[in-house]
Amino acid sequence: MRAPAAPARHVICMKWGRKYGPEYVNRLYAMVRRHLSGDFHFVCLTDDAAGIRAEVQCLPLPPLDLPAGIPERGWNKLATFSADLHGLRGTALFLDVDVVVVGPLDDFFTQPGEFLIIHDYKRPWRITGNSSVYRFELGAHADVLEYFRSHVQEVRERFRNEQAYLSDVLHRQGKLAYWPQAWCPSFKYHGIPPWPTNYWKAPFVPPGARIVVFHGECNPPDALAGRRNRRFRHIQPAAWVAEHWHE
């Protein structure tokens, strides 16, 4: 079934498997609604729509036919580049379901660039982007997906994950651009006080942040609760998460 006509601005997320429950999608929609003015169409590509709020249009995940048992590594995100993604047309802003929106989003649709993504936090000298937040025109980069589908083994041998592959292809095409540095900070790298002050100072929202990205072993509920084990870096409870990550 094709999607009905919708506004030109789409916000797209993905949820598959059991790692994230419907509350992640519901809270993401609520945060976007609070921070994005005007009309938009919110889509969740998912294998399980149970519990997701009515304002979100749930559509099937386009199949990638990945080999069984391979590490996930975000490859499913490449399905957003389908030549025909359920009949959707216009500009799409993709958001991971575990980001926390803390500031205005309108500029994410007007920032100049053909394809925009977060620049890699850990190794900024590389071209690789972080695909927690990216923007593109629907149907414009179908070659990225089609090449992957026909060269799965080759791509997986050359690139560790989908964002490395995606960044490489679009960079070579001259289409890759990055969000302003302050807009999409990492909670892990930018929001935790430096050692040893992390033992008594609480995490904070980095200045200029609009979308705080959670990657690695810590998600919003982990940050909200704090972490005191010895395996990973100590984190005091991030009370600010509760101010934004809710319906």
pLDDT in tens, 201-225: 999 999 999 999 998 778 999 999 9
Helix pair angle (142-150, 162-172), 10° resolution: 120
Q: Hey, what amino acid is at 63? A: P
Residue range 123-157, pLDDT digits in tens = 878 999 999 999 999 999 999 999 999 999 999 99
**Sorting pLDDT into bands at 50, 70 and 90, what band is 230?**
low
| CATH fold for domain 9-178 | Spore Coat Polysaccharide Biosynthesis Protein SpsA; Chain A (3.90.550)
Please write the tens of the pLDDT for every residue from 86-113. 999 999 999 999 999 999 999 999 999 9
Nearest to 234 by CA among 206, 205, 198, 188: 198
- Give the distance from CA 149 to its chain's centroid: 22
pLDDT tens profile 29-74: 999 999 999 999 999 999 999 999 999 999 999 988 777 666 666 8
130, 161 Cβ separation under 8 angstroms: no
Name the residue type at position 107: D
Residue 1 has a pLDDT of 44
Q: Where are the domains of the chain?
A: 9-178
Residue 231 reports pLDDT greater than 70: no
Q: Is the pLDDT of residue 232 over 80?
A: no
* Distance separating alpha carbons of residues 81 and 162, to the nearest angstrom: 12
